[in-house]
Amino acid sequence: MFFVDRMLGRLARKLRLLGFDTLYLAQASEEQILQLCKQSNRTLITRDRALHMRALKNGLSSHLIRSDNWKEQLVELSSRFDLSNTERLKRCSLCNAQLIPISIDEIRHRVPLYVQNTQSEFFVCPVCDRIYWAGSHVQHAIEEFRRLGI
Ligand SMILES: [Zn+2]
């Protein structure tokens, strides 16, 4: 779906929390970025006007971000892309992998008691092993998205 350019790491994590397949590489050459976008049919999200223009000249989908604030960046993106109808809590915000539902019995020792008592659905990232549940920071992010109208 998206390839998020460097300096936009925070935006990348938020897009993943919204459920979007979002590739982010802190270090990649312009050639690598354009090649990756082409190969995996991703929209480039960048603050670099020259790279943006180059992507468009190459027939790629690209979006130039103006704000340096992640909230405003999300609002900018939502004016062009529908960010509302996604599957939240489905993707790891750190590594972009799709989360796998997991039984509380398998992770009980890793989850605080009050969470065990108040949450019924848990997910694990198959790559970094991070555990997610609806009451974690994900819920906080979703509330922020709501305030932003997303
Ligand atoms: Zn992960």
pLDDT score at 67 = 96
Q: Considering 23, 45, 78, which residue would you say is the last residue of a domain?
A: 78
- In the chain, count of helices (H) and strands (E)? 7, 7
Beta bridge partners of 43: 2
- Using the mean position of ligand 1's atoms as its centre, give its distance from the Cα of residue 59 in Å: 32
- Using the mean position of ligand 1's atoms as its centre, give its distance from the Cα of residue 100 in Å: 11
CATH number of 54's domain: 3.40.50
Prediction pTM value = 0.85
- Using the mean position of ligand 1's atoms as its centre, give its distance from the Cα of residue 36 in Å: 21
pLDDT score at 145 = 82
Q: Which residue has the tokens 């925070």?
A: 10
Provide the domain limits for residue 48.
2-78
The answer as to whether 89 is a domain residue is no
- Using the mean position of ligand 1's atoms as its centre, give its distance from the Cα of residue 84 in Å: 23
DSSP 71-120: HHHHHHHHTTS--SS--TT-B-TTT-PBPEEE-HHHHGGGS-HHHHHH--
Structural domain count, the chain: 2
Residues 74, 7: one domain? yes
- Using the mean position of ligand 1's atoms as its centre, give its distance from the Cα of residue 86 in Å: 19
- Using the mean position of ligand 1's atoms as its centre, give its distance from the Cα of residue 85 in Å: 22
The answer as to whether 93 is a domain residue is no
Size (the chain), residues = 150
Residues 10, 68: one domain? yes
- Using the mean position of ligand 1's atoms as its centre, give its distance from the Cα of residue 54 in Å: 32
Residues 8, 74: one domain? yes
The answer as to whether 32 is a domain residue is yes
Q: pLDDT per position in the chain (150 positions), as tens? A: 999 998 899 999 999 988 899 999 888 999 999 999 999 999 999 999 999 999 999 999 999 999 999 999 999 999 999 887 667 778 999 999 999 999 999 999 999 999 999 888 899 999 999 998 877 666 777 788 888 888
Buried b (16+ CB within 10 A) or exposed e, 39-53: eeebbbbbbbeebbe
Cα 23 to Cα 11, 48, 74, 76, 140: the distances in Å are 11, 17, 16, 19, 23
